[in-house]
Amino acid sequence: MIGKSIAFAAAIAIAAPAFATATVGQPAPDFIAADANGKPVKLSGFRGKTVVLEWNNPGCPFVQKHYDSGNMQKTQAAAKAQGVVWLTINSGAPGKQGYMTGAEAQAFEKKEKAEATAYLLDPKGIVGKLYDAKTTPHMYVIDPAGTLVYAGAIDDKPTADQADITTARNHVLAALADVKAGKPVAVATSKPYGCSVKYAG
């Protein structure tokens, strides 16, 4: 089993071309990553559906703000109720804050009652760098045609204070509403906030 996991991890690098970059208004770069159960998940396999990417680090106070308050789970649930695919991604490198094994990721999802479609592990940072993910959380919305239509923060209150959530504009839900209505996303980009993604090196 370990041998298969290593072979799969090596194959992921081939699936994410170094020249591809994530740019709002352009096709979202395809990738393959293992979920918490070790199953390969390919982004293009969800073509025809709206997809949300959420960069995650359970040890980050900004991530804790949205999970401890239930805001991230509510956003996930609202998205899934619309048929949206939600992929939570952890690009933390081994030995760094936020890194998790598959079992730890499963335990986190259960503890937090998370509503993600899958929790993906990206310990080499291949997917994170492909999308230029800078913070946790860092959010992306991809429309059914495979175009990246939003990249940035989850909302417009860049603090770790849970009290700010009630007055914040949830950029992800707003983007999903625009996509569902067939309209251009009103706020297509915003400055992400949170802890830096703990890449290797």
Query: How many angstroms separate the CA atoms of 141 and 199, rounded?
Result: 22
The half-sphere exposure of 95 on its side-chain side, counting CA atoms within 13 A, is: 3
Query: How many angstroms separate the CA atoms of 83 and 198, rounded?
Result: 31
pLDDT score of 143 more than 70: yes
Q: What are phi and psi of 77, to 5 degrees?
A: -65, -40
Whether residue 201 is contained in a domain is answered as no
For residues 70-82, give the mean pLDDT: 98
Whether residue 88 is contained in a domain is answered as yes
Q: What are phi and psi of 122, to 5 degrees?
A: -130, 60
pLDDT score for 151: 98
- pLDDT tens for 43-68 read 999 999 999 999 999 999 999 999 99
Whether residue 32 is contained in a domain is answered as yes
Its domain, for residue 57, covers 2-196
pTM strictly above 0.85: yes
Place of tokens 């695919």: 85
For residues 54-83, give the mean pLDDT: 97
Whether residue 183 is contained in a domain is answered as yes
pLDDT score for 201: 76
- pLDDT tens for 108-126 read 999 999 999 999 999 999 9
Q: Across all residues in the chain, what is the average pLDDT?
A: 92
Whether residue 33 is contained in a domain is answered as yes
Whether residue 170 is contained in a domain is answered as yes
pLDDT score for 20: 63
Please list the helix, strand and coil fractions of the chain in percent, rounded to the nearest 5, in that order: 35, 20, 45
Q: For a pLDDT cut of 90, what percent of the chain falls above it?
A: 89
Q: How many domains does the chain have?
A: 1
User: Helix axis angle, 71-81 relative to 61-68, nearest 10°?
Assistant: 60
- pLDDT tens for 152-173 read 999 999 999 999 999 999 999 9
Residues belonging to the chain: 201
Q: Where are the beta strands (DSSP E) in the chain?
A: 32-35, 40-42, 51-55, 85-90, 118-121, 135-136, 139-142, 148-152, 195-196
Q: For a pLDDT cut of 70, what percent of the chain falls above it?
A: 90
- pLDDT tens for 5-27 read 434 443 343 344 444 679 999 99
- Report the CATH number that the domain containing residue 165 is assigned in CATH: 3.40.30.10
Whether residue 42 is contained in a domain is answered as yes
